[in-house]
A and B are shown apart, each in its own frame.
Chain A
Amino acid sequence: MIGDPPAYAALSDGALMVLFANGDPGASRVLAARLLPRALRHAARVLGDRAEAEDVAQEAMLRLWRAAAGWQQDGAAQPATWLYRVVANLCTDRLRRSGRTASLEDADLARDGQPGVEDRLIEKGRMAALDAALAHLPDRQRQAVVLRHIEGLSNPEIAAILDLGVEAVESLTARGKRALAQALANSKEALGYDDGP
């Protein structure tokens, strides 16, 4: 279990990066506990594959560690934003290299809450359906939707991550959400699946 001592808990991610650069091993544990789940969730939704998402998340974290030596604590970049950007680029590279869209494989990411079997099946079904619907979106749209509606980032943050203007992000997320809703509706009709009220 990863502890998060009060001394570390009060520190920003940027301050922890500086501590890490100074050789503090505790800083890496706290940073990993804070940032790794977000990187993994982002990669899993964009790639739709748990194993690939883990590889991407690990690679992104490795790049974060390597970047620590030159990290400017008072700079504009936040470690989380920086990491999302690396994850986005790594996912895009993988999708381009493989020439595929995201797989429909169940990412099976919902174990930590230990819900009941029925709830888990419903949740897994929803995740699989969401992954399938996301796979229909163009890469940029998919990234924007995941960052906005799953990771909960602001449009300016997403603009910095995807290297776009804020208005372009607003347009991407709006179109993406509309397309996602349509794709989910179509898949439910095709499967005769009723998601309930």
Chain B
Amino acid sequence: MTMDHDDDRLAPYLAAARGGGAVSDALMARVLADAARVQATQPSLTPARPDTARGASLLAVVQAALGGWRGLTGVTLAGVTGLALGFLAPDVVDGLTGGQIGVWSGTSGALPEIGLLWEEGGDV
């Protein structure tokens, strides 16, 4: 009851205050000038440049292209896992592919033997 009465009494004053807050052009200009100064003076707030422009290492370029250290680590791990499987358990790989790898790499495979390219007709 009292709170309702307080609400009624305060309403026009609070409404007037809510309508305030108009920012003068001068204040806005000062605030934006501050923002520009901070962006210009803090190195971390300047636009990022590609690392290659500063002669970054090949590793850094590859890392950036793959999405940072996480991407680079993922690609490396996948490569190492593939190599390990190929060397340590070739039968498993062969089984998973239905024995096709041996067929493709044999003389009757899907790809022609590269030696045929320069031995055709006995000429080199």
Q: Do A32 and B13 have beta carbons less than 8 Å apart? A: no
Scan residues 70-94 of chain B and give those whose CB is less than 8 A from a CB of chain A.
Answer: none
Contact of B16 among A54, A57, A123 (CB under 8 A): A123
Whether a CB of chain B sits under 8 angstroms from the CB of A68 is: yes
Interface size on B, residues (CB 8 A): 35
CA distance A34 to B24 in the complex (A): 14
**Minimal beta-carbon separation of B67 from chain A (angstroms):** 17
Q: Do A23 and B47 have beta carbons less than 8 Å apart? A: yes
Interface string of A78-112 (1 = CB under 8 A from B): 00000000000000000000000000000101111
CB-CB < 8 A to A174: which residues of B?
3
CB-CB < 8 A to B54: which residues of A?
none
Q: Do A126 and B12 have beta carbons less than 8 Å apart? A: yes
CB-CB < 8 A to B19: which residues of A?
109-110, 112-113, 123
CB-CB < 8 A to B12: which residues of A?
126, 195
CB-CB < 8 A to A149: which residues of B?
10, 14
Contact of A22 among B21, B31, B48 (CB under 8 A): B48
Q: Do A111 and B22 have beta carbons less than 8 Å apart? A: yes
CA distance A20 to B32 in the complex (A): 12
How many inter-chain contacts with C-beta < 8 Å in the A-B complex? 126
6 contacts between A and B (CB under 8 A): A25-B39, A38-B21, A41-B18, A111-B22, A112-B19, A130-B14
Residues in chain A within 8 A of chain B (CB atoms): 2, 20-25, 28-29, 32, 36-38, 40-41, 44-45, 54, 57-58, 61-62, 65-66, 68-69, 107, 109-113, 123, 126-127, 129-130, 133, 146, 149-150, 152, 174, 177-178, 180-181, 184-185, 195
Known: A54-B24, A177-B3, A177-B6. 12 other contacts (CB 8 A): A25-B39, A28-B39, A37-B22, A40-B21, A45-B17, A58-B34, A110-B22, A123-B16, A146-B17, A181-B6, A184-B10, A195-B12
